[in-house]
């Protein structure tokens, strides 16, 4: 049974066991931040935690890699 997380104020469906990055990708979200210089879009790139392109903040914690972080019911995700 799916549940939802909140990403920048909007609900995103999640399958249990899915990472936040996978849930965003499944919802059609391909980028959620931009580079400091040039404003180029970033999202999932390597998918295995080697790069830092998919950083997000969950429940007010410091940024973490979305590709490694399993979504939990009630998670509040900020991409800013």
Q: Residues with Cβ < 8 Å from 75, sequence gap 6 or more?
A: 5, 6, 20, 58, 59
Task: Write out pLDDT tens, residues 4-42.
Answer: 999 999 999 999 999 999 999 999 999 999 999 999 999
Q: Where in the sequence is the domain holding 72, given as residue range(s)?
A: 3-78
CA Rg value for the chain: 12
Average of per-residue pLDDT across 56-73: 97
For position 80, what pLDDT does the model report? 81
Q: What's the CATH code of the domain at 71?
A: 3.10.20.30
Mean pLDDT of 41-58: 95
pLDDT at 54 over 90: yes
Please, what is the average pLDDT of the chain? Answer: 96
Q: What is the pLDDT of residue 34?
A: 93
Domains in the chain: how many in total? 1
């Amino acid at each position: 049974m799916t549940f939802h997380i909140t990403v920048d104020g909007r609900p995103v469906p999640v399958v249990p066991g899915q990472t936040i990055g996978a849930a965003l990708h499944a919802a059609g979200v391909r980028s959620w931040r931009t580079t400091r210089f040039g404003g180029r879009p970033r999202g999932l790139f390597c998918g295995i935690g080697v790069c830092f392109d998919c950083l997000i903040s969950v429940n007010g914690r410091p940024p973490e890699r979305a590709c490694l972080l399993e979504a939990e019911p009630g998670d509040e995700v900020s991409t800013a």
